[in-house]
Amino acid sequence: MKYEPNHESIKHHEVPKWFHDAKLGIFIHWGLFSVPAFAVTGIDLIDSTKRGLEEHFKNNPYAEWYLNTLRIPDSPTHKYHYKTYGEDFLYDDFVPLFNEGIKKWDPKKWASLFKKFGAKYVVLTTKHCEGFLLWPSKYPNPNKENYIADRDIVGELTDAVKNEGMNMGFYYSSAWDWSFNLFPIIDASSFTKHYVQNLKYAEWVTSHWFELIDKYQPHILWSDMGYPAGINIYEIFAYFYNKITDGVVNNRWNQYLPEEKKFRNIHYDFTTPEYTVRNEIKKKKWEVCRGIGNSFGYNRFESEEDYLSPKDLIFLLVDVVSKNGNLLLNIGPTVEGNIPEIQEQRLLELGSWLDVNGDAIFCTRPWKRAEGITTEGIPIRFTCKDQFLYVILLGKPEKDELVIEDLGTEKISQINLLGFKDDLIWRTDSNNLAIKLPKEKIDSLVISFKIELMLDSTD
């Protein structure tokens, strides 16, 4: 349909099939913050915010927030910066270091890894809150000269990603820009005051969105921190949907209205919880975003203890998919464009699991319920596709026979264990399903059963 720039028209947009099918995307946080690559370690976002906002902002685990945390006196970042670079070294002095580092970057290597890992789409930070641009925009930063990458990072990566058959998306910090507001965010009050509220800034941001759409034709518009007031955002949505017929937009476009001290709700295709998941199936499409560690931007001081284990990473993906979500898993490259070894290792480990079990993940939909359990107490997640029900165990069975409690279906024609060729022997006992496991050794941390159901004309 032809979309008009108003809510009545835009609200009819439906999430395209490809985004429902995709399940797994790669998030990339890359910018000037990748040069110092510092934040406190040993704490994640949820635990950090529980300590109170003032403590959170002073001890922010997000390395991409380096500039804001640097502006807070006596913060760990403030102390680290002065000790490492000296009191006269400004954040802007990272620009030449970043531009020197990116000369070594190989976008094709990234795209090849993402494809091998199993990602179906990629979302790149085109401008984070620091205000530094990763593409040669016709609309440079009015406050800072040459505050822009020397390479067209957005264009080069977009070409590489699309050549590998994946869709491309763009993150952009819309309502916040630390090159416009120079005071730090330290508490709830400064959090809301930090929204840039002037029409020139709003027009500059809007020009960027239209430029990114026209020049690179992304499939995902991933705004962050809301949107500056004074602009009809539906004009962006209508233009995007009419140009990219299977495009999607996230939910972080709300406009903050300072005179009313509240946000104006805006259209979205999917929600974006951060470092947290849903406890039940959601009808509305959602996507959890998080780092493999506790930061989005690269933090050189994180250790293996700060990263999700392979098992936890698999559990996370399975849980999210069973509840109608996608996982947007972040990598934080070094300034030279290298993906840290532990991050690459985690991607490949999850990718190896997907090589065997991907049929239970990709192109599936939630079943009538997301969770179940075995008589051994092993948690289960369910997905389904066509006439197949997938039962994914979040643990390794110890017995030769596995019993799924209260499955509630007897219309079974065949059961297979993904990664094994032979059909399995099974029986039903009341509402329980008992499956005899194969004699061969099962090495996987998480196993998936594919159950073929007999469908009648009423199903």
pLDDT tens by residue, 401-422: 999 999 987 689 999 999 998 8
Counting residues of the chain whose pLDDT is more than 70, the rounded percentage is: 99
Please, which pLDDT band fits residue 97 given cuts at 50, 70 and 90? very high
Nearest to 253 by CA among 226, 217, 275, 221: 226
For CATH 3.20.20.80, list the domain ranges present in the chain. 7-360
For CATH 2.60.40.1180, list the domain ranges present in the chain. 365-453
The predicted-structure confidence for 179-210, as pLDDT tens digits, reads as follows 999 999 999 999 988 888 899 999 999 999 99
Rounded Cα distance between 243 and 24, Å, is: 24
State yes or no: pLDDT of 459 exceeds 60: no
| 7-360: in CATH 3.20.20.80 | yes
Work out the widest C-alpha separation in the chain, in whole angstroms: 75
The alpha carbon of 43 is separated from its chain's Cα centroid by a whole number of angstroms, namely 19
Give the mean pLDDT of the chain.
95
Four-way CATH pick for 365-453: 3.30.450.150, 2.40.50.140, 3.40.30.10, 2.60.40.1180: 2.60.40.1180
